[in-house]
Amino acid sequence: MQYSKIIKEPIEHFSVKPNLHDYHMMYRELNWDKISRDMDWFDSEHINIASVIIDSHLKTDRRDKKALIWENQKGEQEEYTFAELARLSNKFANILVSQLGIRKGDRVFFFLERVPEIYIGIIGTLKAGGVIGPLFSAFGPEAVKDRLIDSRAGVLVTSPALKKKISEIIPELPDLKNIITVQKGKDKADPGDISYEEAMAAASDSFDTVKTKKEDYAIMHYTSGTTGKPKGAVHVHGAVLGHYATAKYVLDLQPQDIYWCTADPGWVTGTSYGMFGPWSNGITQVVYDGAFSAKRWYSFIERRKVTVWYTAPTAIRMLMKAGDDLPGQYNLKSLRYTCSVGEPLNPEAVVWGKKVFDKPFHDNWWQTETGAIMIANYPVQDIKPGSMGRPFPGIRAGVLDDDFNELPHGKEGNLALRPGWPSMFRTYWEKEEMYQSKFKNGWYITGDKAKKDEEGYFWFVSRADDVINTAGHLVGPFEVESVLIEHPAVAEAGVIGKPDPIAMEVVKAFVSLKENCEPSEKLKHDIQKFVMKRLSSAAAPREIEFIASLPKTRSGKIMRRLLKAKELGQPLGDTSTLEED
């Protein structure tokens, strides 16, 4: 739906009150070369993300500024200055290098809750020249196994509880040499594992950060596609330039801000904007480690005096559901700037933000592959509710037809970007051919459908593929189908995204059963639990429908398109390749 109403951005929203003309000029002039010239973290060749985000502040008055303020649902709190994060990450780097022999390019993966140690470990790994791979703590054993086998990670940093969850797959990981467990006061680490606390206590706190180059690999995030297992999108140390610039100019981070990014560090938003973007700008950030509840979130904003808030549409829709009166019971006046990413943000949500917080949500668009925000409702630009905004300065976005030629405005097509920005992924880990297949006619094809209006605002239409976006988590239907058919009662399975008012889409599975297996509610629950345990709760089908057989092409491929059309009550279209009975 398109709102005709435009929200004018009042200048009072910004802590620094530029004159509107200057701001527009600044955006017009902004380009990557200028940003790199302005910063002092580069020599001509070298850059290390950890040095930029933490150590670069040590010689400034930000040295003893709070970098991380953490609290969990139980009310436990921890705070770290930039100097403390520098010291602790040095220790972690020493553990990796001196004790475990980690060298530049080695993969160190994190399967950890949202605790301070994940931040310290990630910074330390980057200092050591390792490539970080964060894994969402809600993943089950199968999801973790796929990613650890594919990346050939040699070190896993985890917790006793999460290690227990995946204990069955650990013997199946030939490349995994060391496990570090963050004990947090629990008993000793398992025999053969390293206790994070003990190793940190023994490690030296001085470390010479490994001299990484701009193009050296630094970050891996797994992302799901239509077919096959998830692929590792690889980003380089030079990407931090993009994180820095977009955090500054899209999220409008200013020195005195208290910033809250609600994304989990297991996903790309949790690293690009939950670590690299804010800290490269020297910003204090607050982290809440707890389950969602509208009351807890509002109370956190009030208590922590959050000024800039970066969240996601599903969360906003849940807040809307909790009622318009609730925000009034808290003092949320500290909020000055609010942003959203990850799924389409319905125009009502933008307008709701304006109504209850007097701050409209600024939607922006990007992907794991793009590494940083590409299209945004950035400050002082009027917001068109329902639009993702305009390309960030230096980024060229286009809408292409199926021959990859640019379409005029108003036409729906493939959203594409001209390659070459710093945070762009450099490959899919050991899947170079698949990486190359994403580039056509000089464009990177994003896999989304969109249109552009006459003022250059982009409007999201849909995904161009079968990938399901549930509450901002991309779920590959193939991954879910593969697990479903491992269930003893399941013969075949086809998985689609079913529209949902809160999560945008939920996973729905069509399942045909093996002979002698009777459909029942109990079996549905059993299958749901089966997927949840192996993959994650997001990937577990919210709905299961038993059907006699699945529509397939002559070559035996399940036609998800038909399942989706059936679900939506739409015409079935071309069914000529359907299997014959």
Residues found near ligand PRX in the complex (CB under 6 A): 223, 268-269, 341-345, 363-368, 388, 446-448, 460, 463, 469, 474
CB nearer to ligand PRX: pick between 285 and 368: 368
**Residue whose entry in the numeric block shows the structure tokens 């304006």:** 354
CB nearer to ligand PRX: pick between 179 and 261: 261
CB nearer to ligand PRX: pick between 41 and 259: 259
Structure tokens at 116: 């301070």
Coil/strand/helix, residue 107: strand
Distance set, CA 276 to CA 50, 88, 423, 424 (Å) = 8, 17, 11, 15
Given a contact cutoff of 8 angstroms between Cβ atoms, the answer to whether 212 and 348 are in contact is no
65-67-69-70 Cα dihedral, nearest 10 degrees: -150
71 vs 90: CA distance, rounded Å: 23
Residue nearest to ligand PRX (CB): 368
The minimum distance between CB 445 and ligand PRX, in angstroms, equals 11
Structure tokens at 2: 């398109």
Question: Smallest Cα–Cα separation from 532: which of 484, 489, 494?
Answer: 484
**Residue whose entry in the numeric block shows the structure tokens 């005096």:** 305
Given a contact cutoff of 8 angstroms between Cβ atoms, the answer to whether 466 and 508 are in contact is no
Given a contact cutoff of 8 angstroms between Cβ atoms, the answer to whether 252 and 308 are in contact is yes
CB nearer to ligand PRX: pick between 320 and 491: 320
Beta strands, E only, 146-265: 155-158, 178-181, 194-195, 217-223, 231-236, 258-261
Given a contact cutoff of 8 angstroms between Cβ atoms, the answer to whether 418 and 442 are in contact is yes
CB nearer to ligand PRX: pick between 102 and 135: 135
Question: Smallest Cα–Cα separation from 475: which of 253, 155, 169, 224?
Answer: 224
Distance set, CA 521 to CA 230, 517, 525, 545 (Å) = 31, 13, 6, 10
The minimum distance between CB 414 and ligand PRX, in angstroms, equals 12
The minimum distance between CB 250 and ligand PRX, in angstroms, equals 12
CB nearer to ligand PRX: pick between 345 and 489: 345
296 vs 362: CA distance, rounded Å: 22
CB nearer to ligand PRX: pick between 246 and 368: 368
CA 492 to chain CA centroid, Å, is 31
The minimum distance between CB 508 and ligand PRX, in angstroms, equals 18
Alpha carbons within 13 A on the beta-carbon side of 188? 4
Question: Smallest Cα–Cα separation from 120: which of 129, 106, 131, 110?
Answer: 110
Helices (H), 362-463: 432-436
CB nearer to ligand PRX: pick between 463 and 561: 463
- Residue 47: CB partners within 8 Å, gap ≥ 6? 41, 212, 213, 214, 237, 238, 240, 241
CB nearer to ligand PRX: pick between 246 and 469: 469
Q: How long, in residues, is the chain? A: 581
CB nearer to ligand PRX: pick between 181 and 364: 364
CB nearer to ligand PRX: pick between 142 and 448: 448
The minimum distance between CB 233 and ligand PRX, in angstroms, equals 8
The minimum distance between CB 301 and ligand PRX, in angstroms, equals 22
